[in-house]
Structure 1
Amino acid sequence: MNKLSLLLLLIAIQACAQKPYYGDYTLLGKLPAKLNEVSGVETAGDSTLWVIEDNGNKDKVYMVNLKGKLVRELKVDHAKNHDWEDLAQDKAGNLYIGDFGNNANARKNLKIYKLSKPFAKKGGEIDAEKIEFQYPEQKEFPPKKSNLRFDCEAFFHHKGSLFLITKDRSRPYHGKAYVYKIPDTKGEYTAQLVGEFVSCTDTQFCSITGADISPDGKKVALLGSGYIWLFTNFDSDDFTKGTKRTIDVKHRTQQESICFLDDNTIIVADEQSKTKGRHLYSYSLD
């Protein structure tokens, strides 16, 4: 073997030996192949999580452990996965599925499904109640390209209300997200606009794809594909008036799901995209 061949072989061996890079995330595990489009995650217990998939996938919620292994699945009755985009949970353990994905800003059937304490549910099915809503500012379906602000992939529950954070699809792109509030009980509602903020202006990474609030109610975390926006020191429904911290996690994948495992630990999931993604990660705020 000549010197050039030996050098190339050593380079190849070194490349194969290098560990994958996950930025500032800690890799927890890989989700099963049947869950390659996870769009929402929420805690199910100290060591388990609820996850859902988005448009075109089954009307089910899945329980996985913190290594990504499938533990359980529940078919959601009286519900249709038009475009499930996020999960939220209240203090009583009720789970909320956000069926409000609205890429084209043309939907008039936006809704949230409420599941009563699925952790305690026996069997393989669970009933859902409907919380239907509309945005009062939307007059056209779809609106002009400059006003495509009515898509949503993120929400959380806090003190009897659901807080929705929209995804900017307008052109030109401004990275502006709007915060809406609706009740957490069955019915039809007009969403109340309570706040807005600009994340950043890169169309690939700055749109809000997930949200959660810490168990103590003192931190709100919003997710983009490679960024976390953390809000603290807020004292009203408009948490965007609090202190905002932008966290670059130094990992660029299609990240669409975020939740708090505890007050200082965040869980993130990304979708499968070619050879990347379909992972669970943790991130410490300490």
Structure 2
Amino acid sequence: MNKLVILSSFIILQACAQKTWHGDLNHLGKFPNNLSEVSGIAIYNDHLIWVIEDNGNKDDIYAVNHQAIMVKSLDVKDAENKDWEDLTTDKEGNLYIGDFGNNGNYRKDLSIYKLPNPEREKGNKIPSDKITFHYPEQKKFPPKKSRLIYDAEAFFHWDGHLYIFTKDRSRPYLGKTLVYRIPDKKGNHKAKLVGTINLCNDQDHCSVTGADISEDGKTIALIGYGYLYLGKDFNIDIISETKFDSIYLKHETQIESVCFLDNTTILIADEQSKTKGRNLYSYTIK
């Protein structure tokens, strides 16, 4: 074997031995190929993590373990995945699917599906109730480019209500996140605007793609590509006054999902984008 072959083999072995860089995130596992577009995650206990995918994918919810290995899937009855963007739970064990992805701001059929606790389902299907809503401030479908502020990819449940965080797609970029509230009951609701947040003016990092609130209700977590935003000491009814700490995760991928594992540990997932993503991570709040 000549020296060139030996050197090439050594370089290849060294490259394979290097650990993939995930910044400040703790890499837990890689989702299977058929879960390449995870857009929402939620958890009930320290065992199973429930995930969904966004538009163009099945009307299913999936359970994975903490290594991102799929355990089972459930078909959601009476539901259609027009653009499922986030998951959240309430203290009674219900699971909510946010079907409110609205890239072009043209949808008039925004909805949230309310499911019973999926961990109690013994078959391969689960029933759902449909909650529909609209933003009363939106008058045109779609609005002007300067008013493309009615997309949403994030929400959480708190005290009988669902709080929806919009994703700014305006041109020029406003950096504006609207926070709306609707009841967690089946019906057609007019969303109430409870506040506006401006995390920063960088579209690549400050558009909200996931949200959750800690079980003790003391911390709000918002996620963007490469950044985590934590809000503490807040009043949910005047959320505009909340100060959010910006945390650079040192890992910029298409991060779409966030949820609290406990009051100080966060789970994060990203979508596949070319050769990056499709991973499950954890992050400890310092």
Once residues 240 and 278 of structure 1 are traced to their aligned partners in structure 2, the CA distance between those partners, rounded to angstroms, is 33
| Matches of 1:2 and 1:125, distance apart in 2 | 61
Alpha-carbon separation, structure 2, partners of 1:276 and 1:16? 16
Can you give the 5+ residue segments of structure 2 that lack an aligned partner in the other structure?
none
Equivalent position of 2:112 in the other structure: 112
CA contact (8 A) 2:196 2:239 kept: no
Q: Distance in 1 between matches of 2:122 and 2:251?
A: 38
TM-superposed CA distance for 1:123, in Å, is 0.6
Conserved 8 A contact 1:234-1:240? no
| Matches of 2:206 and 2:182, distance apart in 1 | 25
1:221 aligns with 2:233: no
CA offsets per residue over residues 42-65 of structure 1, 9 Å max, x none? 003212111000001000011111
Instruction: Provide the secondary structure at the position in 2 that maps to 1:83.
Output: coil
Q: Is the 8 A contact 1:197 1:240 kept in 2?
A: yes
* 3-state SS of paired residue (1:262): coil
Question: What is the 5 A alignment of 1:50-199?
Answer: 50-199=50-199
Write the distance in 2 (CA, Å) between the matches of 1:84 and 1:42: 13
- Corresponding residue for residue 17 of structure 1: 17
* 2:26 corresponds to: 26
Percent identity of equivalent pairs? 57
Whether the 8 Å contact between 1:43 and 1:259 is mirrored in structure 2 is yes
Alpha-carbon spacing, 1:4–1:117, altered in 2? closer, same or farther (3 Å): closer
Q: What CA RMSD, in Å, does the superposition of the two structures yield over aligned residues?
A: 1.6
| 8 Å Cα contact 2:197/2:239 also seen in 1 | no
Q: For residues 49 and 240 of structure 1, what CA distance do their matches in structure 2 show?
A: 31
Q: Which runs of 5+ in 1 are unaligned?
A: none
TM-score w.r.t. length of structure 1: 0.95
Conservation of the 8 A alpha-carbon contact between 1:115 and 1:127: yes
1:205 matches 2:205 = yes
- Given that 1:174 and 1:200 are in contact with CA atoms closer than 8 Å, whether structure 2 keeps it comes out as no
TM-score w.r.t. length of structure 2: 0.95
Query: In 2, Cα distance between the equivalents of 1:258 and 1:171?
Result: 27
Cα pair distance change 1:13/1:240, threshold 3 Å: farther
CA offsets, 1:134-170, max 9 Å, x none?
A: 0011000000000000000000000000000000000
Tell me which amino acid in the other structure corresponds to 2:54: D
What SS class does the counterpart of residue 15 from structure 2 fall into?
helix
Q: Give the secondary-structure state (helix, strand or coil) at the position aligned to 2:64.
A: strand
- Is 1:165–1:178's contact at 8 Å kept on the other side of the alignment? yes
Partner Cα separation in structure 2 for residue 51 and residue 66 of structure 1:
12
Aligned partners of 2:236 and 2:70: how far apart in 1? 38
How many aligned residue pairs are there? Answer: 286
Deviation per CA, 1:208-262: give whole Å up to 9, x if none. 0000000111100001010011000013323342331101001011000100000
Aligned to 2:48: 48
Task: For residue 17 of structure 1, report the CA deviation from its aligned partner.
Answer: 2.5
Matched to 1:232, the amino acid is K
